[in-house]
Amino acid sequence: MKQIAYIVLVTLFFTCSNGTEKKSVSKEVESTEKKSNKDYKIIGYAAGYEDYDFSKIDATKLTHINFAFANIVDGKAAFELETDAAKIATLMGLKKQNPDLKVLYSVGGWVWSDQFSTMAAFESSRQKFAQSCVDLLKKHGFDGVDLDWEYPGQRAEDNIFRPSDKDNFTLLIKTIREALDVQGKKDSNHYLLTIATGADQAYIDNTDLGEAHKHLDFINIMCYDYFNGWMHQTGHHANLHPSDKDKYDVNSGVQAVERHIEAGVPTDKLVMGIPFYGRQWGKVSSVKDGLYEPANEGGIIVAYWDIVEKIKSGNYKTLYDESAKASYLWNAKDSIFISYDTPKDIKLKTDYIKVKGLGGAMFWEYSLDKDQELLNTLYKNLK
C-alpha cells in the first residue's frame, strides 16, 4: 500500500507540473508500474583527459561507459592523448566486475566537433570516417560508438557549420550504422550506435531526429548547461522544470525531453542527461540570493566533490527553487552563486524517468563525483 501511495503522489506531482501529462491518476499509476519494471540504462561518461584512476570506477552500478573523446584527424576517428590506450584497457578490465557492461567511445565533444561538418558533407568522406569508426572499435574491443557533434548547423567553440548539416547529420549516422552492421554480421554481434544531443530547440531545428533515431540504439540528451559559461547572468543549469522566477523561460529537463518526443523520437529511446558538476558565477550583483541576477564572471564548471567541500566551509547558504525543482548555493560574503544537482534533485529526475517511460539516465562525468554520492542515488532509484 505504501508503494502504491507513493506512486500516486509522484504521478500527481508530475501531472500538475507538466500540462502535457493529462492521463487519469489510475491509468498513470498502472502505466508507471509497468514502466518501472524495465531495465533502465545508467550511462557514465569517463573523460580520458581527467587525472583519474579508471580502476576506481564501480562498474556494478553502470550499464554503459562512454570513453571521451576521440577526435577527427585527417577524416578519421582517432585517439590523440598518450594515456588513452592505457585508460581504455582499464575500462575493458571493468567487465570482470560487470560482464554485462558495454563500453563505447565518444567522438567529438565541445572542442573536437570542428571537423564534423566538412567530413559529413560528402559521401566519400562519410564512408571513410565510418570505416575508421569500425577500425577503432575493433582495435580496442569497444561495444559501440557514440557521436557528440556539437552542434550541427550552429556555431559552437570554433566549429565549421553549414545549412546542409541537417541532412548530412542523418546521412552520417546511417553510414556509420551500415558499417557497424557489416562488421557485426561478421562477428555475430550487434555494435551500438548512440549520440549525445543538445537540449534546446535550436538543436532540434538543425537535425532530423525523427529520421536519425531509426539508425540509433538510443539518444543521450544533455539536460544541463542551460545557463553556462557564455552567460554573465546566473541561473539554473540543470533544472527539471521551468522556474517561475526565470522570465526568459530558458530551458528545463522536461522541456528538452518533450522537444525530442515532438521531433519523432520514441520515448524509450531517450536517456536523460544529469550533470555531476555545477556552474559557478562570481562577482554577482545581488539584492537577494543571487538567482537570475547579473554576474561579472561567467558560469565556470565546478565538480560535485568540490561543491561538497564548499558547503562544509560554512560560507554558502543552501537554497531551493520549488517551481524548478532545482538546488543552488549563495555566498553573500564573496558574491558567488552555484547551480548544481543534489541527491534530492536526482531522485526527482529518476521519478520523472520512470513516469515518462524514458530509457534511463546518463551523466557527465564519473570523476566529478568521487564519493559516488550522486551515482549511488541514480543506482538506488533506477536499478
Known catalytic residue: 150? yes
> Strands 102-108, 76-78: parallel, antiparallel or unpaired by DSSP?
unpaired
Amino acid (1-letter code) at residue 262: E
Q: Per residue in 75-85, is it b (16+ CB within 10 Å) or e — as a string?
A: bbbebeeeebe
Q: Per residue in 143-180, is it b (16+ CB within 10 Å) or e — as a string?
A: bbbbbbbbbbbeebeebebeeebeebbbbbbbbbbebb
| Phi, psi (degrees; rounded to nearest 5) at 307 | -60, -40
End-to-end C-alpha distance for the chain, whole angstroms: 21
Residue 278, strand partner residues: 302
* 144 close to 191: Cβ distance less than 8 angstroms: yes
- Give the cell for residue 113: 566537433
Choosing from 150, 178, 258, 297, the catalytic residue is 150
Give the C-alpha separation, 113 to 204, whole Å. 17
Residues carrying an active site annotation: 150
